[in-house]
Structure 1
Amino acid sequence: MEIGELGLDIWRIYMIKSLSSELVQHILEGIKLDRCGNPEINANRVKIINGVIHSFVQVQDYKKNGSLKLYQELFESPLLVASGEFYDNEASKLLQTCTVSKYMEEVIKILDDESKRAQKFLHTSSLWKLRKQCEDRFVNQRLDFIYSECKDMVSQEKRKDLRNMYIILKPIPDNLKGQLIQTFLDHIKNDGLETISTLSGENIHIQFVENMLKVHQKYQELIADVFENDSLFLSALDKACASVINRRPSDRQPCRSAEYVAKYCDTLLKKSKTTEAEIDQKLTNNITIFKYIEDKDVYQKFYSRLLAKRLIHEQSQSMDAEEAMINRLKQACGYEFTNKLHRMFTDISLSVDLNNKFNNHLKHENIDLGINLSIKVLQAGAWPLGPTQVVIPFAVPQEFEKSIRMFEAFYHNSFNGRKLTWLHHMCHGELKLGYLKKTYIVTMQTYQMAMLLLFESCDSMTCRDIQSTLQLNSETFQKHLQSLLESKLLNANSESLEGNTKVELNFDYSNKRTKFKITSAMQKETQQEQIEHTISAVDEDRKLYLQAAIVRIMKSRKVLKHNALIQEILSQSRVSFTPSISMIKKCIESLIDKQYIERTPNSGDEYSYVA
């Protein structure tokens, strides 16, 4: 031992050890007086107390290990015990005189004062221990009192009180903060449900998305302002929004959020007076709500159908906006999700080129069709045309025959082996009416146009003649003829559109507009039928998706336990939807029947892949 170290050791033994109890007692009393705000503890006294406390460390500084042992045993342990008792007494006094709001303010002040005091007197190793002691006595042991007004503070959104509560609860373990987080989550959920419970009218989809965005933005701002963007509170916001958005009105009714969000996009992307910058901002905000939707495959089905209508009927505000939206969906859900949407886009751009080539071909061959023609060639697998792929019988009017025949010849010459199916019910055109006092240009569907063209050579016909000439089934015939009667272009001598009912041109027809559209004959399913049809189509898609997933998993694993297979399927399908266990079991049974997989012999809950 060196001479300096020997001197320090003698000081420790004969000075500090022999005077330790009295010395420590005086230091603790000095710290207590400082806590009580006694003016005796001036800067000079603080310097003396600080010097004595630090001498407990300095006297053993020469030791490589355990240099704080003397300080901890002699001074730190008694200090923590004495401080704990002092904090207990102070907390009890505050409880008797303060409201929860005032108590939290006082605790924050005490915690701040104690931190400054610890830095003023103590060795740095004691700072966090004293802070923990203070938090334990004032917060952890008084949680019931602090939480007693938590529900009111959250429901009334008292920001100052909530901020104070967060400050004092922040350092304690997460499980103890659970009550505040759960109360906050329930409040957001109730606010969200209240917001969407009163929705009504035709614009329910706009109200739903914009109201939910207001709720999300409101609480996101509150979390930033009050809870310092704490991940636990952001997670509570996500859970609450997901719960509200995916809530089913009842067990028998499906959740309609996916449909509303898709229709909201449709409203924005259709031609309107809204600026592109506004549309872009709203579509970006819309993705916030989209991310919470669990049944993303339902959204995709609705979105693709609405997109198909916009593209076919040329109703899009901007093709750039359409593409930007698809790219947002791609970022959120991956390429697989938007693959068909991209193919639909490709078809439209290819159709533009194809029309140009066809028109150049006609010019080159010096052929005049007599009508202006624009054709869209769509891939059957990419477009969600649903039951409309079942072709309705129809005798094409002779005015269209030449054009159709010429295009088919041109197309088959360019693309050998492809089959064209004409979807006349999705076509429309402009017809010029020259038999009235004024000339009118009317946009209408193919079947309506075909009916009016029959009156080129006569002024009246019976319903039987019209139907047999065009070879339409009764439902299609009546629907489209009815729309022409409602528009007053034709008159009938009976309300019953059958057999010998006479239909004639209305020569007295007049309209303020010389250019207008007849829309009532568009194939209209009721809203409920549309939803039911989409949901059933989604169910079929899900079964095929799950069966394909099971085969892929079993092909790579060869043998797998039932529960392990269920977990694998759930993790793979989570991106698009969360399948029910009963649906997965049905798909497994179906694949066993089809002999893709089999139950492993002598094991009831294990499957084997059949090569």
Structure 2
Amino acid sequence: MSTAKKRNIKIEPFKHRIDMDSKHADKTWKILADAIHEIYNQNASGLSFEELYRNAYNMVLHKYGDKLYSGLMTTMTVHLKDIAKAVDGAQGSLFLEELNRKWADHNKALQMIRDILMYMDRTYVTNARKTPVYELGLNLWRDYIIHAPKIKDRLQGTLLELVRCERTGEVINRGLMRNIIKMFTELGSSVYQDDFEKPFLDEASNFYTIESQQFIECSDCGDYLKKAERRLNEETERVSHYLDAKSEAKITNVVEKEMIDNHMQRLVHMENSGLVSMLVDDRFDDLRRMYSLFHRVPTGLTTIQDVMTSHLREIGKQLVTDPERLKDPVDFVQHLLDAKDKYANIISMSFNNDKTFLNALNSSFEYFINLNPRSPEFISLFVDDKLRKGLKVVNEDDVEAVLEKVMVLFRYLQEKDVFEKYYKQHLAKRLLSGKTVSDDAERSLIVRLKTECGYQFTSKLEGMFTDMKTSLDTLHGFNSMLGASGDANEGPTLAVQVLTTGSWPTQAGARCNLPREILAVCDKFKAYYLSTHSGRRLTWQTNMGTADLKAIFAKGQKHELNVSTYQMCVLMLFNSADCLSYNEIAEATDIPSSDLKRCLQSLACVKGRNVLSKEPMCKEINEEDNFYFNEKFSCKFYKVKIGTVVAHRESEPEKQETRQKVEEDRKPQIEAAIVRIMKARRILDHNNIVAEVTKQLQARFLPNPAVIKRRIESLIEREFLERDKIDRKLYKYLA
């Protein structure tokens, strides 16, 4: 079987060969020129575009492209000059309408001409590096219409006047404006920018300079910001309707500069309506608007932040130094928490939760809270008030919320160890009196403190809870022993908590002469405890105890009085005496003077709880006073709690004593930090030691450089460190 060879057949179009001389070229161009005239005169319906295309094709093919191109330019120029006269002759509002109509006609004509001369565009124009037909038509329109001497300034002025009218509230033909602006952009970005955008921006700058100055003279800050916001929105809307999208950033920059940047300082400091007034009155909408607008300019947020910080520090300083506020520690801390909530809420709702503003808030609170050296004590007293079980019923969720807020204030404290000292005292009183809201709430705060400051900070606090649990087991064993010996019903009942020295804020000098009846049962417990725990020593902390006494008043009225140990010692003296002087009570009980005065004040001077009466009758306790058992005392309740008059704040001597204890506790911590640093570095100069010690200890307290220097001297004396023989400020670690 044979196979035939496959043949490739190519079919070429029929070539109608025409020889073209110059006369024929002139004739052909005359046909094309007439067609272009008809197109511009809108009589193109009778034209044969195929024939016209072939004529143009033949001219280019026979090297008459230059004649065709130059003839096109001449013909279009003639028509454009006529169009310029027609546009210039249009009066008033018809000017833009005529220009828009002629532009649409020109565009339509260009598209037809471009189709006819497509072959010229592809070959001659490319080879001769000429401007393409459509682009040529745009350039000629620019030169003979837009840049015509009689049209250029008139067009620019008309457009700017329409924008000005719209800014003043008049309604304009936005569709017409959009078409004219689109014409500029189609003619090229440089035409749009030079012939419209630049004068538009200059005009806007002048307009808003004048308007902002006029408006700021007669408006408050809030109204001015609303006006600025409205103007920005208007300009953005204007861009979306008829301007080039790239103009949005430029025009908004103009408005921002003229209406916001140039008046920022005046706005934030406006009396009765500026930033401070907005902050004080919680004007969230105005603050949100100010933040949003000032965010647009380079130093806007810094300006707001500086004024807010200055205001915060000023009100905070007044708050922590106001003598009236300092009278009530709980109210003092509550005002701090309220202020913190207020400004945190403002930052959240109006300042977009901006971190720089949150940092400014925190730094301001840290600044003024530490202006008052009693802030740690007051915060601890506030916690004591919230965690102490009283008449008020406290929801557990509310307690958790309060503790979380307190921890925020705690973080601001530079002397966290001072807070620890007071907190330990107040916690001890709550635990020993059984007046804590709940162990869970107490432990929740301790967990928070441990997370914040580490295990060492809370180890003693946790030891207090351990002692309370162990004491229950010990007391259970003691009561079992009394029951077995038959002494359970003899004498008073004793409940004891055994506290570990070092974990509890016990007073080494706490003294009191206990009544004979109490001493007997105390001795029994002591004997029991020491028999089960050899090598230990018990010291009675009478300042921390409570007692329940049964008392009989006039007409046989009976009450059970819940009192402190000191109050019990005083009251039991009246079993054998009707009248006792202050000095007699002091000698019989041996209670420290300050404690005794508070004890007697609560027994004799508190209305409704005055189981004693005194002469002379006044609120103060003096050494010349005499005290009597108040037989007329009555109360509708059988059980009566006689609270001790609490020293909400320490007296000056007590404050000095606490401060001294804190300073003593700091010494070994500073020395330990110095040794740690020197052991790692071996050799270090004085300034670097101070800097590193401060860095290590700042989580608990800010050590005084003078104290650090004294501790270094102490370590040198004990031969932990030595000075360099040449440079006295250089220290060496002695291994």
TM-score, scaled to structure 1: 0.75
The structure with the larger Rg is 2
Q: Does 1:295 align with 2:415?
A: yes
Q: Does 1:264 align with 2:382?
A: yes
Q: CA deviation at 1:596?
A: 2.4
- Out of 162, 181, 184, the position equivalent to 2:308 is 184
Partner of 1:512: 634
Q: Secondary structure at the match of 2:412?
A: coil
Q: Does 1:580 align with 2:698?
A: no
Distance 1:595 1:429 in 2: 53
8 Å CA contact 1:397, 1:450 repeated in 2:
no
Distance 2:183 2:462 in 1: 76
Matched to 1:389, the amino acid is: A
- Out of 206, 227, 234, the position equivalent to 1:89 is 206
Q: Does 1:343 align with 2:471?
A: no
Distance 2:549 2:588 in 1: 18
Q: CA deviation at 1:46?
A: 1.4
8 Å CA contact 1:355, 1:375 repeated in 2:
yes
Q: Secondary structure at the match of 2:684?
A: strand
Equivalent pairs, count: 575
Partner of 1:310: 430
Distance 2:730 2:420 in 1: 34
Q: Secondary structure at the match of 1:429?
A: strand
Distance 2:534 2:194 in 1: 92
Matched to 2:701, the amino acid is: F
Matched to 2:391, the amino acid is: K
User: What do the CA deviations read for 1:84-111 (whole angstroms, capped 9, x no partner)?
Assistant: 4223211232144222645544432332
Q: CA deviation at 1:383?
A: 0.9
Q: Secondary structure at the match of 1:548?
A: helix
Q: Does 1:53 align with 2:171?
A: no
Report 1:11-160 matches (<5 A).
11=132, 14=136, 32=160, 35-37=163-165, 41-43=173-175, 45-47=177-179, 49-50=181-182, 53=185, 56=188, 71=189, 75=192, 81-99=198-216, 101=219, 103-120=224-241, 127-143=248-264, 146=267, 149=270, 152-157=273-278, 159=283
Q: Does 1:599 align with 2:599?
A: no
Q: CA deviation at 1:510?
A: 6.0
Matched to 2:634, the amino acid is: K
8 Å CA contact 1:84, 1:137 repeated in 2:
no
Distance 1:529 1:87 in 2: 71
- Out of 134, 157, 172, the position equivalent to 2:297 is 172
Distance 1:521 1:210 in 2: 22
Partner of 2:56: none
5+ residue gaps, structure 1, are: 57-70, 249-254
User: What do the CA deviations read for 1:500-527 (whole angstroms, capped 9, x no partner)?
Assistant: xxx9998x95643676567679999962
Q: CA deviation at 1:380?
A: 1.1
Residues 1:550 and 1:121: Cα distance change in structure 2 (over 3 Å)? farther
Residues 1:127 and 1:515: Cα distance change in structure 2 (over 3 Å)? closer
Q: Secondary structure at the match of 1:422?
A: coil
8 Å CA contact 2:559, 2:639 repeated in 1:
yes
Partner of 1:356: 476
8 Å CA contact 1:54, 1:122 repeated in 2:
no
8 Å CA contact 2:510, 2:541 repeated in 1:
yes
5+ residue gaps, structure 2, are: 1-120, 605-609, 616-620
Distance 2:164 2:272 in 1: 34
Q: CA deviation at 1:78?
A: 7.5
Partner of 2:17: none
Report 1:474-553 matches (<5 A).
511-512=633-634, 527-553=651-677
- Out of 558, 570, 587, the position equivalent to 2:694 is 570
Residues 1:120 and 1:564: Cα distance change in structure 2 (over 3 Å)? farther
Q: CA deviation at 1:358?
A: 3.2
Distance 1:496 1:113 in 2: 78
Matched to 2:463, the amino acid is: R
Q: Secondary structure at the match of 1:421?
A: coil
Residues 1:448 and 1:23: Cα distance change in structure 2 (over 3 Å)? same
Partner of 1:67: none
User: What do the CA deviations read for 1:299-321 (whole angstroms, capped 9, x no partner)?
Assistant: 22212111111212223233333
CA-atom RMSD in angstroms? 5.0
Residues 1:395 and 1:149: Cα distance change in structure 2 (over 3 Å)? closer
Partner of 1:404: 523
Percent identity of equivalent pairs = 25
8 Å CA contact 1:24, 1:74 repeated in 2:
no
TM-score, scaled to structure 2: 0.64
Residues 1:162 and 1:117: Cα distance change in structure 2 (over 3 Å)? same
Partner of 1:63: none
